[in-house]
Structure 1
Amino acid sequence: MNTVVTSKEEILRTSRELIRQQGIAALNVRSVAAACGVSVGSIYNYFSSKSELVGSAVESIWCEIFHQPEDGAVFQDTQACITWMYERMAYGYREYPGFFTLHSLGFMQEEKPDGKRRMQQTWQHILDGLCFVLRRDPRIRTDAFNDHFTPEIFADVLFSLMLSALLRRDYDPSAVLEIVRRTLY
C-alpha cells in the first residue's frame, strides 16, 4: 500500500467516484483510503472522522452539481436560471443515482449537526444565487416585490419546489417556470 499522503481534493474526488459507483453507504475512511491507495491514517490527516469525510464529500457533490455555469447569462434571467438548475438536478441524478434521497436522510438528522450545517450552508449558496437573479432580471415587473413579498421569500418558495422535485425525480421545470411567469412578469 502506498503511504504517500494524497491531497484533500484527491480524497474528495475519489469519494465522489465511490458515491457515484456504489452509493453513499459505501463511503467510509477505509474504502476511501483503499481507493486512493493510501493508509487510513493519511485520510485522517485531512478529515478527523468518517462524519467529516462524508460531510465534505456530500458538500463537494452539491458544489459539482451546482457549479458556476460558464454562461454568465444564466444569472441575468430568472427563467434561464431555473431551467439551468433543473438541468443540473437531472445531471446530479444521472451522475449520483440515489444521492438526493440518501444524503438527505443521513445528513439532516439532529445527531449530525456538522452535516446539517454544511447542507444549510450549501443550500444558502443556491438561495443567494436565486436572489441575485431575482434582483437583476430586467423583465421582472417593478411592482412584483414589496416589503411582504421579497426576492428572498420567493427564492425560498422556488427552492422548496426544487427540493420537492428532487425527491420526486421530476426534472421538468415547466410548472415552476409558469409560476415565475405568472408571479413576476
Structure 2
Amino acid sequence: MNLNATSKANILKTSRELIQQNGWAGVNIRSVAAACGVSVGCIYNYFASKTELLSATVESIWSDIFHHPENEVVFQDTLSCVRWMYQQLEDGCQRYPGFFTHHALGFVRQDTADGKQQMQRAWRHILEALCVVLQNDTKIRADAFTEEFTVEKFADILFSLMLSALVRQDFDPSTVLEIVRRAIY
C-alpha cells in the first residue's frame, strides 16, 4: 500500500469510478482509500469527512458530465446547446447510474449545507453558460426578452425543464426545443 502518495484529483477520479461500479453505497473513506492504495489518513488530508468527500465527488461528476465539448458549435445557438445538454444528461445517467436522483435526495435528507452549495454551484455554472449562449445567439428575435422576461429567467426555465427530464428519465429534447423556437425565434 502506498501510504503517502496520491492527489485530490486521483481521489475524486477513484470516487467517480467507485460510483460507476457500485453506486453511492460504494463510496466512503475506507473504500476510496483502498481503491487508491493509500491509508485512510491520506484521504483525510484532503477531505475532513465522508460528506466533504461526497460533496467534492458530486461537483466532480457534474464537471465530468458537462465538460467543455470539443466542438464549440454547440454554443453558437440555443437549439444546439439544448440538444447537447440533453445528450450530456443522458450520457451522465448511463455513466453514473442514479447520480442525479440519489445525490440530490441524499443532500436534501442529510441537510448538508456543503453538499447543497456544491450542487448549487454546479447548477449556477451551467445556468451562466446557458445565459451566455442565449445572449450570443444571433438568431433570437430582437424583442424576445424584456425587463420582465429576461435571459436569466428563460435560462432558468430551460434548466428546470432539463432537471425535470432527469427525474422522469426522459431525454427527448423535442418539446423543449419547440418551446425555445416559439418563445424566442
Distance 1:68 1:107 in 2: 26
- Which stretch of the first structure deviates more once superposed, 67-76 or 101-110? 101-110
4+ runs of 1 displaced by more than 6 Å?
Answer: none
Q: Retained in 2: the 8 A contact 1:55–1:114?
A: yes
Q: What is the deviation of 1:90?
A: 0.7
Q: Retained in 2: the 8 A contact 1:109–1:116?
A: no
Q: What is the deviation of 1:26?
A: 1.6
Q: What is the deviation of 1:109?
A: 4.2
2:103 corresponds to which residue? 103
1:41 corresponds to which residue? 41
Alignment of 1:1-185 (within 5 A): 1-109=1-109, 111-185=111-185
Q: What is the deviation of 1:110?
A: 6.4
TM-score w.r.t. the length of structure 1 is 0.97
Q: Structure 1 counterpart of 2:179, which letter?
A: I
Distance 2:5 2:42 in 1: 6
**Identity among equivalent pairs (%):** 62
Q: Retained in 2: the 8 A contact 1:33–1:42?
A: yes
Secondary structure at 1:114 match in 2: helix
Distance 1:150 1:46 in 2: 41
Aligned residues: 185
Q: Structure 1 counterpart of 2:40, which letter?
A: V
Where structure 1 has 5 or more consecutive residues not aligned to the other structure, the ranges are: none
Q: Retained in 2: the 8 A contact 1:33–1:39?
A: yes
Q: What is the deviation of 1:5?
A: 2.4
